Structure 1
């Protein structure tokens, strides 16, 4: 079997785990040709929301670093262009890809990409008692872990893990089907933009309560508007 030697590695950092409500805050990708890095892409993304202490502590990314960052649309269009028709490689990639897919669905853009997941490959060819998260895979392969949970650094480390697992498979004639690229099968519904009534309600409430709350009105969805309103009610009353 032929392994994928030309591909793009992808990693994202987000405000949380929920595709429907959380936002991308950093994108990192590397383009690999014949097993060598030939290009990189990285960018912060302005999420228009405050980061939780958990995310700040995990990533080292702070609110001030994102204030002047590009908007999601700008970064996503550039990322899609960077990826092109490449097979994507990543650690637990379905999770990261879901955020890109949700954006694409919202924009009525069709994504038809293939991927190889280093987590699934590791579960197939490495000892069962070895932990398979990125941190422990780096330890297993003696890969220096720098700037953990920063998108570009994680992408570079994932690429090294992927190449080392290919070497193991070739050397030991292990089951190689896990290296076959698979087509993404992520189904998400389009998030509808907030109605004028919702925007008016939010604007009126914030003015009446004299509350400052950062909202990206251009990208605000109906679900987001409802969640924001619920949070405001809990904190400030009706």
Structure 2
């Protein structure tokens, strides 16, 4: 659990500043579950430059509660939380100073989004909150007021958690949270999980991830892990102390994240998915008569496939549908072996490419349109799918046929501006598995939105 906060002060000498406004959003890694926002009477004058910056003046604070009146609420909302702030060293110091004046030692673990941003989003011109969120296309209102800045920090932190591919933030959180040191019953873990699409992480007591999976219903899938009686499930049941998750909204994003993170983190119980997901592929070649032929074959790592399949039957079903949709020849797609005309020619549904009756130029146009549709080779495109919330969408970026990564956005200008798009994207590896996942998903979901853009 995280307490994401922002504090406005009077300004002045070091350790003599007073709090004028505080905003705290309690964030569970997925959504805000509680909040506290209040002006605070600092019992001292505000520096003129601070009045100009924040708009908060002495008159506004005359009837505001003093710090000792809100101190209990601050302690309660940040209990068992990691304090997160943009320049946390400043905000945490101010809070500790105010509590010390009351004779209370305030201690919380803290995280700084400036430091996290420098590590996870390098190369930005500025890491001040205003300039950073603007460059990332994160909407912000009430700049230099505690509520507006804290809410912008929540959105920034959400993006940083997406970009933390090593899962350092969440594993440290699991390790630091005292309740996970107890022996929880499996039913208690399941009770806290949602029935949503996403990726889940099963942790040991020390926070180490021992299994990663994806599901359209995380609660149901974890329940299966805890009730199965096979040897692997029993070992997981004995070691599990916590389950964390990432909502993705999109099944495609969940598939890509699961594949990437299993390969990177190598959890002890994920051996099967470290291997490739597909066995067969669609290849093309030009015959002696200049016709483009298609063939479903076992994957050959030396060759570049058009698209890939989980098994031969899946590939065969694809090619049969393609023959009908694109009016292709059964002989030239490897479905009907013959030295003369194919069966479809005999029933007048093939134009005769099998016996050179249809010109290779005309026939190849249809074959190439199928190849173009089912391969993103050399394409620059963004695949738009569901997001984690109603007003959010996911974006999968492909440049020159290479999968670059994925991210989430709320505003259309974030994907229409290629530089902002690249900033919000979490870089991921392009490999045969990711190509297979994306192509298989696009075949299955034909109406999914794709935006083609010019080469940068």
Q: TM-score, normalised by structure 2?
A: 0.36
Higher relative contact order (CA 8 A, sep 6+): 1
Q: Secondary structure at the match of 1:88?
A: strand
Counterparts in 2 of 1:32-111, with a 5 A limit?
A: 32-111=27-106
Q: Which residue of 1 aligns with 2:212?
A: none
Cα separation, 2, equivalents of 1:177 and 1:72: 31
Deviation at 1:77, TM superposition (A): 2.4
Instruction: Report if aligned partners of 2:7, 2:19 keep a CA contact under 8 Å in 1.
Output: yes
Task: Summarize deviations over 1:180-201 as a string: whole Å, max 9, x none.
Answer: 4699xxxxxxxxxxxxxxxxxx
Change beyond 3 A, Cα 1:147–1:179: farther
Q: Secondary structure at the match of 1:105?
A: helix
Deviation at 1:177, TM superposition (A): 6.9
Instruction: Report if aligned partners of 2:87, 2:114 keep a CA contact under 8 Å in 1.
Output: yes
Task: Summarize deviations over 1:18-43 as a string: whole Å, max 9, x none.
Answer: 44322110010011124101111011
Instruction: Report if aligned partners of 2:161, 2:169 keep a CA contact under 8 Å in 1.
Output: no
Instruction: Report if aligned partners of 1:9, 1:155 keep a CA contact under 8 Å in 2.
Output: yes
Deviation at 1:94, TM superposition (A): 1.2
Instruction: Report if aligned partners of 1:8, 1:31 keep a CA contact under 8 Å in 2.
Output: yes
Greater C-alpha Rg: 2
Instruction: Report if aligned partners of 1:124, 1:178 keep a CA contact under 8 Å in 2.
Output: no
Change beyond 3 A, Cα 1:62–1:128: same
Deviation at 1:101, TM superposition (A): 0.7
List, as ranges, runs of 4+ consecutive aligned residues in structure 1 with deviation greater than 6 Å.
none
Alignment match of 1:10 (pick from 5, 13, 16): 5
Deviation at 1:129, TM superposition (A): 4.2
Cα separation, 1, equivalents of 2:79 and 2:102: 17
Q: Which residue of 1 aligns with 2:136?
A: 141
Cα separation, 1, equivalents of 2:53 and 2:155: 22
| Root-mean-square deviation (Å) | 2.4
1:118 and 2:103 matched: no
Deviation at 1:87, TM superposition (A): 0.8
Task: Summarize deviations over 1:73-130 as a string: whole Å, max 9, x none.
Answer: 1122221122112111110011011111112223332323111110000111222343
Deviation at 1:179, TM superposition (A): 8.5
Q: TM-score, normalised by structure 1?
A: 0.67
Cα separation, 2, equivalents of 1:81 and 1:169: 28
Q: Secondary structure at the match of 1:42?
A: strand
Change beyond 3 A, Cα 1:73–1:14: same
What residue ranges of structure 2 are gaps of 5+ in the alignment?
A: 177-456
Cα separation, 1, equivalents of 2:134 and 2:68: 36
Instruction: Report if aligned partners of 2:12, 2:47 keep a CA contact under 8 Å in 1.
Output: no
* Number of corresponding residues: 175
